[in-house]
Each structure stands twice: as structure tokens, then as C-alpha cells.
Amino acid sequence: MTYKITHKNSTVSGTPPTAGDIDVGEIAINAADAELYTKDANGNIKKFANTDTTGTAAGVQFTQTGTGAVQRTVESKLQDVVSVLDFIPESEHAAIKAGTSTYNATAAIQAAINAFPSNTIIDGGGGFYKVSATIRIPNNSRFLTIRGLNIGAVGDITVLSSNAITDLVSFFSLENLLIDVSGHTTVGRRAIDFSCFSISAFRDVWVYGATGKTIAFYGTCTNGGSGPYYNVWDKCYAGAIRAGIVVEDAAGTPQTGNSSTITNCRFQPGSDNFGIYIGNNNQNWRITNNVFESVGGTGIYMGGHACLITGNRFESMTTGIAYTSGCFGNLESGNYFDSNGSNRLLPGNAIYQNTVLISSTTTTGVTNSLHGNTGHYSTGSQNTVSAFGKDLGTNNSTYTSDTNLAASTDWRHFSGFHSTGGSVSYIVYGNGNVLNTNNSYGAISDLKLKENIVNASSQWEDIKSLRIRKYNFKSETNHQTHTQIGLIAQEVELVSPGLVNELPDLDNEGNSLGTSTKSVNYSVLYLKAVKALQEAIERIEALESDLATLKTLP
């Protein structure tokens, strides 16, 4: 027996059913338009499909959930995110997703980009893709994102590059990429060439290179333009490399690139290599919260100006930050330098609130401003912080954790020079000694700055009551233990409490140890002694006058 099922239908074109015509879940047909309809749980009429199509996504309609959504084709919807797998035989998909594929995906990735160079997302789904030639971004690409590819480069190749173009690639983004170029054999071979990219972003891009060979990200402009600008690197990694990020022109001379940001990245260059190389004439770069670590090498090589370098950590580098001779107006703040051989700072740059753990000489140039920096020397060699020029700045300090060398007479915490290349004029030694060339020490004492000026009271009894002692420091204090002459703070406190200061004892991290140490203000004591000497002179002169009078008596 044959049964015939007839749905509610209409033969009038352009007349979909109303909410009152059908029940929830019931199907209605417009025979004139060949369209199917149903009613959802909210009482809304929904159209299923146009049935006069050839079966392609171009003819199937899609309406997004939500008030105000409009209908479009499934083809249009699918092109919002384009899978690289759409250009690879389906038989290879499982191996690509499993990370075991040997399929050469170079042409497929390039085809996906060529088909959709702008206004879309090219997605690899986290699969492994073998690449044997450079993948190029077409001219004038805009709003293109490439994401989710684990790329294994075959041979000595640059994996991704723009073409030799006359217009910039802009609003371009690389996200969640892992690129293995450990097969590089040519010094300076690039993993990613971002030449002429502007307003572009590199996020979560990891590059594994060949030590001394690979430049992870390289930027130049071959058409004589202004170079890459307004780019961002965020949470990227470059290891076993010659350099992490390099910006220069095609001839090798550093090239202008403006207003870019490098943040939250990690660089591990090999010996004598660079984490970041920013060439001359670059400006307004922000390099923040990155980690540079290597046995040897330079963290940041800076040739730009008006750049901010803050919150970075440098570990075991030969040089933390090196400035070229043409740079100026840069600001360092809040960086941490651990066992770096040197940090070369040149004229016109300011350094604030850094912590420096170094094993060699740190120098600064004319007109540099240093404020609130802390130097921690943790190795066994002599360290010098040198300042050329008139103004070193304020609140700079250094300290050492090496208790043996810190107390030696030849351990220099600070050296000041009379001029660039001149002789040392001021030294602070590890044992507390301070030397200078003219034995001149002073205090600001201008009348215009003072008020309530009266003569000091007698200091005679105070000076007479002080007990001058001979003593030596205990060996466990790590101070020199030779015999010295001076005062005991607790004894001075009984005579003149204002001469004694008391400060809490702190560990190397600035935490209180629960104890305190007292000190004597010898500079004020000397003035009290001068006052007492004046009183003694008055008494001597009075005695001399009385004696002269007695001598005149018969």
C-alpha cells in the first residue's frame, strides 16, 4: 500500500506561511518558489533552503541566530574562515592533524592566500605543514590573518615574505604559528620577512632557528619607502637564532621604521648574536616586558631615538643593551640585568629604576641622566659604574652579595671621572672608604635658604664626655677587622642622642630582619668639636689675658 504525505503548501509566489498557518516544527512548502518553511519554538517562521540550486554552497541560505541577523549564502559564511585543508587532498588531512604528514603543503598554503588575500582568515587548524619554498603575501593585501599552522621548513628557505612590492601590506596578522627553520645553513637567513608590513601583528609566533644563522623576523623596504611601521609582536618566541627581530634596509644600513611594539616575548640568541636589532633612525619603538637570555650575545642593539625600553629581563648576556652613536632621547626604566658583561649607554638617554647585576664595566656618556638605579654585583671581578659629565642624577646605588670581595680595599662600587677619557676623580670602595682628588666635601649652606639662625649653645660638656675608643669589627660582620679609632653609638647616645641614627637591618631583597643597626653622624660631631674648640680658644685667651695682667704686678 502506498501512502501520500502532503504538507501545507501554497502555489502563490512570494507568500510564505504566517505563524498562524503552521504549528511548531511543522513543514510548509511554497511550490511556486520551491522553498521550505517551519516554525521554531519562539513562533518565528524560518526558511530552510532554496531547492532550485545545483547543490553548491552558493545557493544555500544561512541566517545567523540573533535579532537583526540577515540572510546570506553558506558560501559567503564559509569564506569568513578559510581552511588550508580545503586546498589539500582529503586523504592527507588525518596525518596533517596528527602531526605526522610528509605532504608538501607549500602550494596549498599559497593557493589559499592567493584566493583570499584580503578580508579573511586562513586557518591551519593546528596541523603540521611541510613547506619547501617561500610563501608570499600578495600586493596590497589588507585585513588578512594567517593562524594555526605548525610549519616544518625543508632546507635553507625563508618561510613567509611579502613580495617586492610598491605598496605596503597592512592590517596583516600572524597568530598561533610554530615555525621550525633549524635547517638553515646561510648566515642571516630569515624565517619571516615582514618588509613593508604596516599596522600588522605577530602574536604567539614561535620560531626555532639555527644558531648563528636564523633571523626570526626581518624587516626592510626594497622600494625606498619608509619601512615597516605600527607593527606589534606579542608573546612571540625566537630560540637558537642569530637575531630575533631585525629592522634595517636592503643595503644593510639600518632603515627608518616607526612606532612599533615588542612585548611579552622571549629571545634566546646564540653567542655574539642579538635578541633585537633596531637600526639607526628608527623611532618610537616600545620594547617592554620581554626576556633575553643567552650565554653571550646582546639583548637589544638600539640605533633609534625616542624609544621606551622598560620592564625587560636580561640574563647572562655579554651586553644587555647597546646603543649606537646616533641614538638619543631613549628611556630605560625598570629593567633587570643579571650577569651581563656591560650595558653601553650613550649621550642623551635616561635610565630610571633599573636593577643591574653585572660582572664588568657599565659606562654612561655626557648628558645622560641616571635616577634611582640599583647595581648588584654578584661575581668575583671588580666592577665600576662610571659617569662622564656634570650630572649623574639622583638616588643611584650599588651593592654586592660577594662578602669577601665587597670588603676589600680595591673593590670599587662607584667611580666618577673628570671628563670623557679623563682620570678618576671620585671613588667609593667596598670597605666604605671614599676618595677624591681635592679632599673637598661640602653641604649647601646659602643664607637665602635658611631661617631661625641663632648661635649654637655650648658643646664643651658633650665633647668632654665622649669616650674615644680603639676597636675592631667582629669577623662575622665581613668588615675589615684591623684596629680602628672612633666612637661607640650606644655610648654617644647617652651624651648627645642627636648624633645617633638607627635603621632596620634588611636582607638583599629589602625585607626587614627584625633587628637594627646604629650609626654616628661624624660630620655633625666635627662641628660640635669646632664649637668646643672655639670655647677652648676663648678660655685660653682669657687665661692668657689674666697671665699677662699677673705679670705686670710688682
Cα gap 408→399, rounded to integer Å: 13
Distances 78 to 81, 82, 90, 363, 364 between C-alpha atoms, Å = 6, 7, 18, 59, 58
Instruction: Give the per-residue pLDDT at 167.
Output: 55
Instruction: Give the per-residue pLDDT at 259.
Output: 84
pLDDT digits (tens, 9 = 90+) for 332-388: 878 887 765 555 554 455 554 555 543 333 443 333 344 444 444 333 333 334 333
Name the residue among 114, 196, 89, 105 with its Cα closest to residue 148. Answer: 105
Task: Determine the residue type at 360.
Answer: S
Q: Is 2.160.20.10 the CATH classification of the domain at 95-367?
A: yes
Q: HSE of 221 in the Cβ direction (CA atoms, 13 Å)? A: 19
- Sign of the four-CA dihedral 209, 212, 214, 219: positive
This prediction has a pTM of 0.62
Residues 6+ apart with CB under 8 A from 211: 240, 241, 242, 270, 273
**Residue in this structure with the C-alpha cell 504538507, named with its chain if needed:** 7
Enter the C-alpha cell of residue 502.
638607627
Instruction: Give the per-residue pLDDT at 61.
Output: 79
Cα gap 219→205, rounded to integer Å: 16
Cα gap 103→91, rounded to integer Å: 10
Instruction: Give the per-residue pLDDT at 469.
Output: 96
Cα gap 24→547, rounded to integer Å: 130
Task: Determine the residue type at 438.
Answer: N
What torsion, rounded to 10 degrees, do the Cα atoms 204, 205, 209, 212 define? -80
Residues 6+ apart with CB under 8 A from 258: 226, 227, 229, 230, 282, 283, 284
Enter the C-alpha cell of residue 499.
648624633
Give me the residues paired with residue 192 across strands: 160, 217
Cα gap 317→295, rounded to integer Å: 6
Name the residue among 287, 325, 286, 281 with its Cα closest to residue 305. Answer: 281
Name the residue among 114, 121, 150, 156 with its Cα closest to residue 135. Answer: 114
Mean predicted lDDT score pLDDT of the chain? 79
Name the residue among 372, 373, 333 with its Cα closest to residue 357. Answer: 373
Cα gap 163→144, rounded to integer Å: 15
Q: Are 289 and 268 in contact (CB under 8 A)?
A: no
Q: Are 299 and 318 in contact (CB under 8 A)?
A: no
Cα gap 201→208, rounded to integer Å: 19
Query: CATH 2.160.20.10 in the chain, residues?
Result: 95-367
Cα gap 515→500, rounded to integer Å: 16
Instruction: Give the per-residue pLDDT at 422.
Output: 53
Q: Are 340 and 314 in contact (CB under 8 A)?
A: yes
Q: Label residue 160 exposed, middle or buried (CB < 10 Å: 0-12, 13-18, 19+).
A: buried
The 3-state DSSP class for residue 31 equals coil
The CATH classification number of 460-552 equals 1.10.10.10
Instruction: Give the per-residue pLDDT at 226.
Output: 55
Cα 449 to chain centroid distance, Å, stands at 43
Cα gap 59→9, rounded to integer Å: 22
329-366 per-residue burial string, b: 16 or more CB within 10 A, e: under 16: ebebbebbbbbbbbbbbbbbbbbbebebbbbbbbbbbe
Instruction: Give the per-residue pLDDT at 59.
Output: 65
Q: Which residues of the chain have pLDDT under 70?
A: 1-6, 49-59, 163-168, 221-227, 249-257, 295, 325-326, 339-424, 430, 509
H-run or E-run covering 382: none
Enter the C-alpha cell of residue 181.
627553520
